Amino acid sequence: MNAVRLDTLPSYVWWRFTRHPRNVALSRRLLREQARTWQAADDETVETAVLLLSELMTNAGKHARVSPGREIHALCIVTDGTLRIEVSDAGDGIPRRCRPSAYDEAGRGLRLVAALADRWGFCPRPHGIGKTVWCELSLRPDIAPTSAVTCVAGTVGPERGGKAGNHTSNASSPPGRSPVP
């Protein structure tokens, strides 16, 4: 497979997940595999990106108080030397950094995102209900070999029996985004 040039058109991967706790781990695995294909970041940056995606997916699954049929969308874009990670859900809650005590078992996710990402934020979804929480990481340009643009889209979710599901690919664009040539 080809690596991503950091000075070319955007390359992205997009997944739709059901709201199932196992899909957090699945999203980590899928991003790790895609990052290997892109070859656009060193191992430390990839693991940081995987942790950031995991935190955003966990928050979307845990805090988006929506009906069980709603999906979580994850979008990872490499463009202009930056990896942007977006996680969208149908919840209307506003992400807030908590101030957990030393004994609290939760509440540190957005603090981790703020500490590890170069930038982060949230916005309403452009063509639907809910919000998108995003973060960005700068990539090292000295490790990116030349290549063409990569485009992967898919649906991921539990199969019958509650197991984390199959990843199906197609060449469609994520909602609200223009197709990548």
Query: Residue ranges of the domains in the chain?
Result: 11-170
The pLDDT tens digits for 18-74 are 888 899 999 999 999 999 888 888 899 999 999 999 999 999 988 777 777 788 999
Helix (H) or strand (E) holding 83: strand 82-89
Q: Are 88 and 73 in contact (CB under 8 A)?
A: yes
CATH number of 11-170: 3.30.565.10
Is pLDDT above 60 for 78?
A: yes
DSSP for 113-166?
A: HHHHSSEEEEEE-TTSSSEEEEEEEE--GGG-------EEEEEE---TTS----
User: What length does the chain have?
Assistant: 181
The CA distances from residue 1 to 6, 24, 89, 147, in Å, are 16, 26, 31, 9
- Local confidence band at 93 (pLDDT 50, 70, 90 cut-offs): confident
